[in-house]
Amino acid sequence: DERPSDEPDLLRRLNRRGIPIGEPIPIDGGIRAITVGGGFVWVSLWDEGTILQLTKRGAEVDSFEIGQAANYLSYGDGRLWASVPTLSTVYEFRRDAPRRPYRVGPEPADIAVDGRKVYVAIRGAGEVRVLTRGDPRARPERIRVPLGPVDVAAGYGAIWVTGTTAKGGRLTRIEPD
C-alpha cells in the first residue's frame, strides 16, 4: 500500500457540533490505523512502522518501532495489539514486557479482544484465528468463515466478522464457547 499524500495528516479536536477546538496537530508519516484504550490514543503510521501513544488531547507520550506499518490496532485488557500483514504477524504490547510476535498466517486484518481470547481476521485464509493471550507459541484455534474476513469485533456475547468480495459482503456471528 502506498500512502495517499506526502503532506502530514492532521489530528483535529471537535466539539459535539463539529466545531474545531484549538489548532490541528500535524502527524508526520500519515495515519494508517487508530484505537483507544488504557487512557491513551494509539496511532499507527503509514511509512515508518511506528506506533504513537498520544494523550486524549493529542500530545505525544511515546513512540515505538515495529518494522512495518500496522494496518489494524486494538486495545484490550491492558494490552495493545497490532496487525502487520506484510509480516503475517500480530504483535502484543504490554507496558511491563517486551513485544510478543504471533505468527498468524496470510493477510491478518482486524483484531478483537474478548477477555483472555484474541480474535484475528485472516483474510488470506478465509478464517478467524483465536490466539492464546500471552503464549505466542500456542497453536491458534481456526474458525472458517464465509468470504475473506476483514473486520472483527467482540460484543453482545459474540464475535462479529465481516467479509467482502466484489459481489457483496456478509456478516457472521461466532458464538464463543
Q: Is 87 helix (H, G, I), strand (E, B) or coil?
A: helix
Note the pLDDT of residue 53. Answer: 94
Q: What is the pTM of this model?
A: 0.86
Closest among 93, 163, 174 to 141, alpha carbons compared:
174
Note the pLDDT of residue 84. Answer: 93
pLDDT digits (tens, 9 = 90+) for 94-135: 877 778 999 999 999 999 999 889 999 998 899 999 998 888
| Long-range pairs of 6-11 with CB within 8 A, sequence gap ≥ 24 | 11/43, 11/54, 11/58
Place 1 in a pLDDT band, splitting at 50, 70 and 90. low
The percentage of residues in the chain with a pLDDT greater than 90, rounded to a whole number, is 51
Place 5 in a pLDDT band, splitting at 50, 70 and 90. low
Give the span between the Cα atoms of 68 and 90, in whole angstroms.
11
Average pLDDT over residues 65-89: 92
* CB 131, CB 90: distance < 8 Å: yes
Note the pLDDT of residue 4. Answer: 61
Distances, alpha carbon 56 to alpha carbons 41, 82, 89, 113, 118, in Å: 6, 20, 28, 21, 25
Average pLDDT over residues 60-84: 91
146 pLDDT more than 70 = yes
